[in-house]
Amino acid sequence: MVVGDFAEEVDTLIVGSGPGGYVAAIRAAQLGQKVTIVEKGEIGGVCLNVGCIPSKALIQAGHRFHDAQHGSEDMGIATEKATVDFSKVQEWKAGVVKKLTGGVEGLLKGNKVNIVQGEAYFSDKNQVKVSSDEYNSQTYKFKNCIIATGSRPIEIPTLKYTDRVINSTGALQLEEIPKKLVVVGGGYIGVELATAYANLGSEVTILEGEKRILGGFEKQMSQLVDRRLKKNGVTVETEAFAQSVKETKKSVKLTAEVKGEEKTFEADYVLVSVGRRPNTEELGLEQIGVDMTDRGLIKIDKQSRTSLDNIYAIGDIVDGPALAHKASYEGKVAAEAISGEASAIDYLAIPLVAFTEPELASVGYTEDEAKEAGYDAKASKFPFQANGRALSLNDSEGFMKLITRKEDGLVIGAQIAGPNASDMVAELGLAIEAGMTAEDVAMTIHAHPTLGEITMEAAEVALGLPIHIK
């Protein structure tokens, strides 16, 4: 028997409550819409529950333990033997997640967004049926809908997920620190988690199919991370392809082809991190006429609108990098478009960040991309080792590269490798969005001593007037 299946009418229905969905819901409500958000899992989606937030918490715990364990003898600081209680680390991490997800739920309710737990399936372009269990469903009739269902880790057929072969979600929920961990995939998620567990004491091996790790970043940037990983005892195998696994109750043996030769790796766990797949299969989208790509991505226009004029899609289920901040940005655009505003997507200044050692960040064009796009561009580089704050942090490895247009110094891109790169990149994103030149950046007074001064210094290099390097 179906209970309560009388259509409930809403202005805007949002499917998925991750950083795309919940932001879209709040913005739509702010603009006067009656909003219902549907979530089949936990409020906050992958990012807050099993992605961005818990991974950064684990990375931070790893940093703390590594620093405590090794001390800073060159600064005159020695430490006693450090220990880690991993159950407490996981408890603390869960507390961080709970605060944020609880906060998001409070924000949704504060903006009068109706929260519905269940799985959505489209009946037509104006209706979905939300099922919370086998016998309980509710139909919602909407004027507009924003789909924000996110993505999930790709599973390799030869490396099926088990208790010992895990994805990023499983890696964040381990009850023990692995003595040995093999990471299949050298993208930013794999390298971030490899770094975290290496800092917590695991013996880590990374297997990457390409010729270098972190292929989404410039070679100079990924080389810094590769060097630091190896310095910290991580083995990095490139041109390596996992073939098969044999598992016991306490360990797993992975066979891989590395540069044409067969090698075997034994570990407590194998973490598979080779990309993500959009969650679009079980929504009924094709039967209602939503155009999709061969990869299962939803086709959208500059306002996140699909082939159906009242249905929008954002985040990991549309083309572009699978980034939480991209999803949030698209969510605002979609909510504003529904409200009749002229908002449109412009991806030029969307930052890409890896919380590695050192941190990496890129925004706008790289030097090669700028030239491919037809710009007469130049790159101006400034090293962290010439910055007083970086030296006082005892963390001065890295650089900033500013990409400008030669004719007028317009800032069109930037790459940063070094401490706090994830925070520093925002200023460069603003410079690109605001149409600022290198002179504008150089003439902005930056506080001293800060890492932010590196941005000013790189701009001065672009002007040919550097102060702190020759």
CATH code, domain with 426: 3.30.390.30
pLDDT for residue 1: 40
- Under DSSP, is residue 277 helix (H, G, I), strand (E, B) or coil? strand
Give the single-character DSSP code of 7: P
369 labelled as ligand-binding?
Answer: no
Other Cβ atoms closer than 10 A to 71: 14
| 236, 256, 274 - which closes a domain | 274
Tokens of 330: 């698209």
d(CA 97, CA 202): 24
Residues 25 and 124 in one domain: yes
**pLDDT string in tens for the chain (470-residue length):** 445 568 999 999 999 999 999 999 999 999 999 999 999 999 999 999 999 999 999 999 999 999 888 877 788 888 778 899 999 999 999 999 999 999 999 999 999 999 999 999 999 999 999 998 766 899 999 999 999 999 999 999 999 999 999 999 999 999 999 999 999 999 999 999 999 999 999 999 999 999 999 999 999 999 999 999 999 999 999 999 999 999 988 999 999 999 999 999 999 999 999 999 999 999 999 999 999 999 999 999 999 999 999 999 999 999 999 999 999 999 999 999 999 999 999 988 999 999 999 999 999 999 999 999 999 999 999 999 999 999 999 999 999 999 999 999 999 999 999 999 999 999 999 999 999 999 999 999 999 999 999 999 999 999 999 999 98
Same domain, 256 and 243: yes
Query: What confidence score (pLDDT) does residue 4 get?
Result: 52
Specify whether 27 is located in the same domain as 106: yes
Which of 258, 274, 290 terminates a domain? The answer is: 274
CA distance 145 to 161: 34
Residue 71 lies in a domain: yes
Asked if 149 and 12 sit in the same domain, the reply is yes
- Is 145 in contact with 12 (CB distance < 8 Å)? yes
Residue 56 among known ligand-binding residues: yes
Whether residue 460 is annotated as binding a ligand: the answer is no
- How many C-beta atoms lie closer than 10 Å to residue 448's C-beta? 11
Both tokens of 7, joined, read 């259509």
Residues 120 and 205 in one domain: no
Residue 187, strand partner residues: none
Output the six-digit token pair for 244: 């098969």
Residue 203: inside a domain, yes or no?
Answer: yes
User: Apex CA 258: angle with CA 254 and CA 261, to 5°?
Assistant: 100
Q: Are 244 and 284 part of one and the same domain?
A: no
DSSP string, 89-134: HHHHHHHHHHHHHHHHHHHHHHTTPEEEESEEEEEETTEEEEEEET
**Rounded CA separation 159/174 (Å):** 18
Please give the single-letter amino acid code of residue 314: I
Q: Which residues are catalytic?
A: 448
Residue 188 identity: Y
For residue 243, give its domain range.
165-274
* Assigned domain for 329 exists: yes
CA nearest 110: which of 200, 29, 186? Answer: 29
Whether 347 is covered by a domain: the verdict is no
Report the alpha-carbon distance of residue 297 to residue 295 in Å, rounded.
Answer: 6
- Please report whether residue 13 resides in a domain: yes
- 275 marked as part of a ligand binding site: yes
**Secondary structure (DSSP) of 141-205:** EEEEEEE---EEEPPPTTS---SSEE-HHHHHT-SS--SEEEEE--SHHHHHHHHHHHHTT-EEE
Give Cα separations from 165 to 228, 258, 269, 272, 411 (angstroms): 26, 20, 6, 7, 45
The CATH number linked to 50 is 3.50.50.60
Q: Is 316 marked within a binding site?
A: yes
Is 191 assigned to a binding site?
A: yes
CA–CA dist 262, 397 (Å, integer): 35
Tokens, residue 395: 């963390």
pTM of the model: 0.95
Q: Are residues 267 and 377 in the same domain?
A: no
Domain membership of residue 470 (yes or no) is no
- Tell me if 464 is assigned to a ligand binding site: no
- Total count of domains within the chain: 3
At residue 149, what is the residue type?
T
pLDDT at position 361 is 98
Q: End of a domain among 274, 301, 317?
A: 274
Task: DSSP letter for 271, please.
Answer: E
| Residue 21 labelled as part of a binding site | no
Reported as type and span, the H/E element at residue 348 is: none
Same-domain pairing of 31 and 131: yes
- What pLDDT is recorded for position 333? 98
DSSP-assigned states of every residue in 302-321: TTSB-SSTTEEE-GGGSSS-
402 and 372: one domain? Answer: yes
Residue 303 and residue 265 share a domain? no
Do 444 and 374 share a domain, yes or no? yes
Residue 155: exposure state from Cβ atoms within 10 A (0-12, 13-18, ≥19)? middle
Is position 116 within any domain?
Answer: yes
Residue 188 assigned as binding residue? yes
One-character DSSP codes across 37-95: EEESS-TTHHHHHHSHHHHHHHHHHHHHHHHHHH-BGGGTB--PPP---HHHHHHHHHH
Would you give the distance in Å from CA 139 to the centre of its chain?
33
Look at residue 404 and tell me if it is in a domain.
Answer: yes
Identify whether residues 319 and 236 lie together within a single domain: no
